[in-house]
Structure 1
Amino acid sequence: MIFSTHPLHPEVTAELQGLGNLTIASEPTPAAILEQSSGASIIVVRAPIPPEILRRETRLRATVRHGAGLDMIPVDVATETGVLVANVPGVNAVTVAEHCIWSSLALLRTYPSVAADLREAGWAVARPHSDHGRELSGRRLGIVGMGNVGNALFRIARHGFGMKVLALTSRPQALPDGAEAADLNRLLGDCDVVVLCCPLNDKTRGMIGAAELARMRPDAILVNVARGPVVDETALVEALRAGTIGGAVLDVFDQQPLPTDHPLMSMRNVILTPHMAGITEESMLRMGQGVVMETRRILAGDRPFNFCNPDAWEAYQARFAK
């Protein structure tokens, strides 16, 4: 049985059904996933997987991430139990990069206030917000994390909007022409838009706190498409209220779903989206096609192409020795 935590693209659904009995979770909650994944040989991951599933399912071959980030999979437990972990990196990088651009544009052009006032107070109240709108072209962009998303964002920003790009990366020698390496302090202080697209790990958890926000320009925008805990959310709320920074674009949060009474919900200098920066019809198909490819390889007895825990291979082979 192939189990998915979420519905998939119709073409992907059809292909997986051709490889085995496909079951979709009734809802992407830990309880439903824990109960309904019983008997799975492959788990397609778009929601956190309880570690006990990996220990319980004796015929589970692999967890295949529908995307790149591995924070939803207990990789250490998978390796310990001989369960393979694969992912589909890079295929939604341009999707996330486009999200960063359009949301930054919307915030610079005061779209939250314009849209709210146009509907609630009328044309005459909404239109004057345009006097305070700003253009993205020619501004300074800071990118924290130059992986697939960071590089896609650089290309759009540099070649589409003529932006100067500073980048914080562990591999400055690999930066594309036109991107300049910078440390975090300089990047925060110099840039008009700062985009966080780094992985969540011990080094990046809490990377942006009150001190870092205070280094940013008072009209700067912070964009987080990484993971919620990269930013100290309490400090961010305080900085937005105090005008320490100009605004924020947030696709990820400490708690997901974001509570309806969260203070961010009522702020007009914030654009909020429900962890959807990497999701479009096109990217769902590309990610799903990657899942199908990895599932087919694993069921055929081959190693995954994007093998995230190769140390599990020996234990995996022992579990499924013919």
Structure 2
Amino acid sequence: MPALSIFSTHPLHPQVTDSLSALGDYTVASAPTPEAILAESRCAELIVVRAPIPPEVIERESGLRALVRHGAGLDMIPVDIATRAGVLVANVPGANAVTVAEHAIWSALALLRRYPEVNRDLRDNGWSAGRAHADAGRELSGKTMGVLGMGNVGRQIARIAHNGFAMKVISHTRRPGSMPEEVQAVTFSELLETSDILVLCCPLTDETRGLIGARALQSMRQGAILINVARGPVVVEEALQNALESGRLGGAAIDVFDTQPLPRGHAFFDLPNVILTPHMAGITEESMLRMGEGVVTEARLIAEGELPVQLVNPDAVARYRARFA
């Protein structure tokens, strides 16, 4: 099997690092920044993607064979440019779906039981101050879970919510015919109006960018919970801030943001009914290994001259084969 020159935008699981190193020359970016990726990815034949890839990398690297996403979302890869250049793009869908789903359920439980406020006041003001929030806590069981997007993550959320908490699960998705049996398909308006907890796990597209703005937030139930494990730009941040400050929403768990890292001093840091996490909903030791193993599988196939299993741009194949005949 010919050796590959492999470049990763981030460090990976140790077992994955060993497996990729066995396939050829393996290097990791000194920082996951556009500048470092652009400067340090020279002569790469395969790039493992966990950070946005500058289009210049694809245009510059004549020997680049493939971009393999360490995860599912493709917004970090300029797929159209890769396709035109004859560069294969693959991903690892579903490998961290249960991880993201567990994060969403944990976030919902914490917000309903007012954990951010309890934790703050218990530490700062003592036992009685923390305990005073208990009477306003709410249970997850029996409530309506709304899911925007019923892909791998949405299905795992639905499974846990329905089977574990006896929740009614509703969803709005592009493919309502593929809905799990326990999930009711609804319109977008119905999703907003009837969800006690609304989880965003849709891809970022032209249609979903800014979808959750002032009008959508105003349509949600008074005191509802919003959880975003999709992409930051799906939500209009200023509108969400206003909805939280006004009390329209009961709380929010936000894992993804317009600007990442989230700038110090951002207004979200001052809101008491918000859980903030640094784009880590899909990251655990187990999920990192599963996603990495998927990357290794695709890298081996590419090294052997085969196409990846999870190829997302088949239109690139003819050009790819012409380049590496």
TM-score with structure 1 setting the length: 0.99
Alignment of 1:69-218 (within 5 A): 69-218=73-222
Task: Say which is worse superposed, 190-199 or 122-131, in terms of deviation.
Answer: 122-131
Which amino acid in the other structure matches residue 307 of structure 1? L
Correspondence for 1:250: 254
Residues 285-300 of structure 1 aligned to structure 2 (within 5 Å):
285-300=289-304
SS at match of 1:264: helix
2:50 corresponds to: 46
Query: Residue in 2 aligned with 1:9?
Result: 13
2:270 to 266, 269, 277: 266
Shift of 1:173: 1.9
Whichever residue aligns with residue 301 of structure 1, its letter is G
Q: CA deviation at 1:187?
A: 1.1
> Partner of 1:301 in structure 2?
305
Which residue identity is paired with 2:187? Answer: D
Tell me the number of residue pairs that the alignment of Structure 1 and Structure 2 aligns: 321
Percentage of matched positions with identical amino acids: 63
> 1:278 maps to which residue?
282
User: Is the partner of 2:140 in helix, strand or coil?
Assistant: coil
In 2, the alpha carbon distance for the partners of 1:105 and 1:75 equals 37
Q: 1:158-178 CA deviation, whole Å, 9 max, x = no partner?
A: 000000011101222221112
Alignment of 1:201-240 (within 5 A): 201-240=205-244
The Cα offsets for residues 37-89 of structure 1, whole Å up to 9 and x where unpaired, read as 11101100000000000011111110000000000001011011111100000
Q: Secondary structure at the match of 1:124?
A: helix
What letter is aligned with 1:147? G
Is the partner of 1:246 in helix, strand or coil? strand
Q: 1:189-210: CA deviations, max 9, x gaps?
A: 1110001100111111111110
Rounded to whole Å, the distance in 1 between the matches of 2:182 and 2:312 is 31
Taking the aligned partners of 1:102 and 1:198, their CA distance within structure 2 comes to: 19
Match of 1:31 in 2: 35
Q: Secondary structure at the match of 2:24?
A: coil
- Paired with 1:205 and 1:317, the residues of 2 have a C-alpha distance of 35
| TM-score scaled by length of structure 2 | 0.98
Listed as ranges, the gaps of 5+ residues in structure 2 are none
CA distance in structure 2 between the aligned counterparts of 1:103 and 1:169, rounded to whole angstroms = 22
Q: CA deviation at 1:246?
A: 1.0
Per-residue CA distance 1:282-305 (angstroms, 9 max, x = gap): 000000000000000011110110
- 1: CA distance, partners of 2:179 / 2:89: 29
Deviation, structure 1 residue 144: 0.5
| Distance in 2 (alpha carbons) for counterparts of 1:112 and 1:273 | 13
Aligned partner letter, 1:3: F
Q: Find the aligned partners of 1:12 and 1:158 in 2 and give their Cα distance.
A: 34
Q: Where do 1:311-322 residues align within 5 Å? A: 311-321=315-325
